[in-house]
Amino acid sequence: MKIFLVYAHPEPKSFNGALKNQAVESLTELGHDVKVSDLYEMDWTHYLGKKCYTEIENKDFFKPQQESMGKKFIEPIKKEMEKVAWSDLVILQFPIYWFSMPGIMKNWVDCVFARGFAYGGDVGILENGGFKGKKLLISMTTGGPSMFYSKEGQFGEVQRTLFHIAHGMGFFCGMDSLKPAIWFSPARIGQEAREKMLKEWAERLKGIENEEIVPFHHTKDYDENTYQLKKGLKTNLEILGDF
Amino acid sequence: MKIFLVYAHPEPKSFNGALKNQAVESLTELGHDVKVSDLYEMDWTHYLGKKCYTEIENKDFFKPQQESMGKKFIEPIKKEMEKVAWSDLVILQFPIYWFSMPGIMKNWVDCVFARGFAYGGDVGILENGGFKGKKLLISMTTGGPSMFYSKEGQFGEVQRTLFHIAHGMGFFCGMDSLKPAIWFSPARIGQEAREKMLKEWAERLKGIENEEIVPFHHTKDYDENTYQLKKGLKTNLEILGDF
């Protein structure tokens, strides 16, 4: 498989760094092709705006959705698009920051998942999105322990919280989600438990090609006029939370 | 009231820009004090990392949660913290990008909602968070029409999607959420309908001081050992979705 690992953590010696290194090592050993974008190392300061393009078509009213169709992206964004296009699986490795991905990674998504490439124009959405045939795997660390991230816990069910990434960014563009890997509280559990987690990660990655995907609804499951789920179907939020 | 409006849109002539201008005009007329941070105009490229601090205490292992406790923030971050500390109400004005806020704004949150200021250390979380007594109002535009953002719609219920902001960023630090204002599909509805939206916005802002808050659970609603909601209570996700 061609695997593109996008990694965002400010400290290379962090557990996020270790998870990234473990993934690169394991996946390479398994015979996969691996590319990595280390967003902190790259000092990714691009955000969706005029500077994403080498030339702006409509100088009077800037509209990224429109400019993106012209495909005049700056080199750093083009390179990332090429890596996404190349890949069969995208792994996002990050620490939870405010119940989402770090801003540096969100900016990466905003810039790279451009209209006409990820969705829109001639490209569809959901199972017809620009990234159809690809898979997405979120690998995220938390500060707090797992009990806080349960459905009835103080922070709410973590998989549901990640709906905006797994469905909103991933499946929106056609990427099938694998079950997000949540690494609870590595900073507080000691070296031995962290090493156990790394082994679990390596173990999971052995079967990565044949994992089940989160069964988000395809277009056929929605009424074609109202775009509402057909009667009796679970919502995507419930599907993700219960997967 | 002291109102801090944080605004992120790449085009000043956009409907987001109009909503921002309307808010400044209306709120000022009503006698409120208003400050604005226009993140695109400020070219906010800061992300949570070493460059957020004038000095790093632990050079061997960078940990933002630890460095933030030393409060040696660079000037641009300090200024934003002062505006948040000053305010009674924070309004976040942004277009939905990938079912969340734009990365430029997420970076702002990552940098400004620092440990020891927003939460952590001597500062609590939830109703004891660093921003207790403050309110949060999300004002967000969408590309697609409202039917896509219903519970059974293709994109899922939009208020629930914003859980990671309203509860995860806001109430986590003690900020009470007002009902998020969602402006559906302004780019597609024509000038007259947009002007009607601006009037609705101005109308809503007249009563902003006395609006009901989203009744997220306080610490007392959780078991003190397991941090799970006491029996029979709705989850925060449900509360937000049904508000």
pLDDT at position B232, please?
Answer: 95
Length of chain B (residues): 243
Biggest distance spanned by C-alpha atoms of chain B: 59
For A75-110, how does the pLDDT look when each residue is reduced to its tens digit (9 = 90+)?
Answer: 999 999 999 999 999 999 999 999 999 999 999 999
Enumerate residues 6+ apart whose C-beta is below 8 A from A64.
A48, A49, A52, A114, A115, B10
pLDDT at position B202, please?
Answer: 98
Rounded distance, CA A52 to CA A38, Å? 19
Rounded distance, CA B197 to CA B200, Å? 5
Chain A hits for B172, Cβ within 8 Å: 98-99, 155
The vertex-B236 CA angle with A101 and B228, nearest 5°, equals 95
Chain A hits for B161, Cβ within 8 Å: 163-164, 168
Work out the end-to-end distance of chain A between its first and last CA atoms, rounded to an integer number of angstroms.
24
Report the share of chain B in percent with pLDDT over 90. 100
List C-alpha distances in Å: B80 to A90, A112, A127, B67, B177: 35, 28, 41, 18, 20
For A104-149, how does the pLDDT look when each residue is reduced to its tens digit (9 = 90+)?
Answer: 999 999 999 999 999 999 999 999 999 999 999 999 999 999 999 9
User: For chains A and B, what is the number of CB pairs under 8 angstroms?
Assistant: 180
Chain A hits for B167, Cβ within 8 Å: 99, 156
B17 CA: distance to closest CA in chain A (Å): 12
Query: Is the Cβ of A237 closer than 8 Å to some Cβ of chain B?
Result: yes
Query: Is the Cβ of B131 closer than 8 Å to some Cβ of chain A?
Result: no
pLDDT band at B89 (very low <50, low <70, confident <90, very high): very high
Rounded distance, CA A80 to CA A39, Å? 11
Strands (E), chain A: 2-7, 33-38, 89-95, 135-141, 176-177, 181-183
pLDDT band at A53 (very low <50, low <70, confident <90, very high): very high
Whether the CB-CB separation of A180 and A166 falls below 8 Å is answered with: yes
pLDDT at position A45, please?
Answer: 98
Query: Is the Cβ of B155 closer than 8 Å to some Cβ of chain A?
Result: yes
Q: Give the mean pLDDT of A190-217.
A: 98
SS3 labels along A38-85? EHHHHCCCCCCCHHHECCCCCCCCCCHHHHHHCCCECHHHHHHHHHHH
For B14-32, how does the pLDDT look when each residue is reduced to its tens digit (9 = 90+)?
Answer: 999 999 999 999 999 999 9
Residue in this structure with the two tokens 């070296």, named with its chain if needed = A191
B164 CA: distance to closest CA in chain A (Å): 5
Q: Give the mean pLDDT of A194-207.
A: 98
Strands (E), B58-113: 89-95
Give the 3-state secondary structure of residue A2. Answer: strand
What is the DSSP pairing of strand B176-177 with strand B135-141? parallel
- At position B204, the amino acid (one-letter code) is R
Query: Is the Cβ of B9 closer than 8 Å to some Cβ of chain A?
Result: no
pLDDT band at A24 (very low <50, low <70, confident <90, very high): very high
Which chain A residues in 176-215 lie under 8 Å from chain B, judged by CB atoms?
A: none
Q: Which of A14, A143, A237 sits opposite B156 (nearest CB)?
A: A237
Query: Is the Cβ of A137 closer than 8 Å to some Cβ of chain B?
Result: no
Rounded distance, CA B4 to CA B34, Å? 6
For A157-175, how does the pLDDT look when each residue is reduced to its tens digit (9 = 90+)?
Answer: 999 999 999 999 999 999 9
